[in-house]
Amino acid sequence: DGAYDFDGEHQAGITTPVQRHLYFASLDMTAGATREDLISLLQEWTDAARQLTAGQEVGDTGAVDGSPLAPPDDTGEALGLGPHHLTVTFGLGPSLFTRDGDPFGIAARRPEALAPLPLFAFDLLEEPISGGDLCIQACADDPQVVVHAIRNLSRIAFGRAQVRWTRLGYGRTSRTSAEQQTPRNLFGFKDGTANILSDDAKALDRWVWADDGWMAGGSYLVARTIQMTIESWDRTRLEEQELVIGRSKGEGAPLSGGTEMTEPDLEMTSSTGGFAVPETSHVRLAHPDRNDGVQLLRRGYNYVDGNNDLGQITAGLFFLSFQRDPAQFVQVQNSLKTDALNEYIRHVGSALFAVPPGVRRGGYVGQGLFE
Ligand code: HEM
């Protein structure tokens, strides 16, 4: 099974072809943790991430080769599985920089862009599944491999940082390379048709990679847990579903005509009046032409998380987007205020993280922040 190098110019897991499974963790630094704790944590996470992405066991003695009198370094459930294209991507939240008393000595180095996101129309955010000082995004083509990665990394954090919330995702909802077929989200529509692709160097430089100070070569990650009211969507006429999205359900073509990869014609009118790609459709409102040209690199996953008392499935989209400045997300999300989709979705979780640049061999993730 394939392995991706952990070290590189940029962290893996952004332009990497989207893998099938995700486990995402947001963590908070423990009360009383120091600058040394934070640095040693990032160093140990880097060492472990190098081992994990290479398909190796973590620590010096792994899962079964240590002393029988001590708990093993590695928890063991991924023994023999191989890397399955695992990527581990680390991020730092705004709250890490604004702690009372600045225990980590980094307040002055907070990038201006790393400020909490504003409250948007229809936001129904739940505190326990929002925010966080640190994040780890683990993506791979095997579910056990991503769980093993997060489990071992949070175990390493013990005493310095603790898990605040996690999200298990499956079935990528975007594509980041031209070879990948466009997957579908839980509304049954192709998702990720119009996305920034990994070979589009110009768009990546313009819209994804930050170029300022210690964040140069990094990016900003927006994570939104968006619940879908699956049952009401499933009772909606097909025609209505297509008008809400602005694309056909089968082919994924814009309602202005053509095939999946045809650019939507936002000026075209329909025979019944109004625009062919309706004024309140998701695709129209999210389109760069309606957002000063702004683009995002979307890399989200579906999630299912039990059911509620009415027997309705708790499911949705774990929306992940990478951008050089969170203002890009703010711009698009504000445009979606009049989105017909809002009747069927609810944003319940939100977080923003600065994703530092890639790690040089011998270095550790986020090192530039402490130099
Ligand atoms: C496009 C679904 C939330 C930004 C699309 C498409 C679908 C879709 C089916 C068309 C295919 C494609 O080009 O990918 C959804 C669903 C959402 C959701 C079901 C919530 C559960 C969001 C959010 C944002 C966003 C929160 C950003 C704030 C975009 C963008 C496009 C898009 C930028 C491409 C528009 C274009 O250039 O044509 N979405 N989306 N979406 N969506 Fe979403």
Over residues 8-19, the pLDDT tens digits come to 999 999 999 999
Q: The whole model's pTM is what?
A: 0.97
Task: Output DSSP code: residue 58.
Answer: S
Alpha helices in 6-157 (DSSP H): 35-53, 143-157
Per-residue three-class SS string for 117-137: CCCCCCCCCCHHHCCCCEEEE
Flag whether pLDDT at 178 surpasses 90. no
Between 285 and 178, the more confident residue is 285
Tokens 């504003």 sit on residue: 118
Predicted confidence (pLDDT) per residue in 29-87, tens digit: 999 999 999 999 999 999 999 999 999 999 999 999 999 999 999 999 999 999 999 99
Predicted confidence (pLDDT) per residue in 329-340, tens digit: 999 999 999 999
Nearest CA to ligand 1 atom 31: 286
Residues in the chain: 371
Pocket around ligand 1 at a 6 A CB cut-off: 185, 187, 189-194, 224, 226, 228, 245, 247, 264, 282-283, 286-288, 296, 317, 319, 329, 332-333, 336, 345
Phi-psi region of 155 (alpha: psi -120 to 50; beta: other; left: phi over 0): alpha
Domain segments of the chain: what residues? 21-358
Amino acid 234: pLDDT: 97
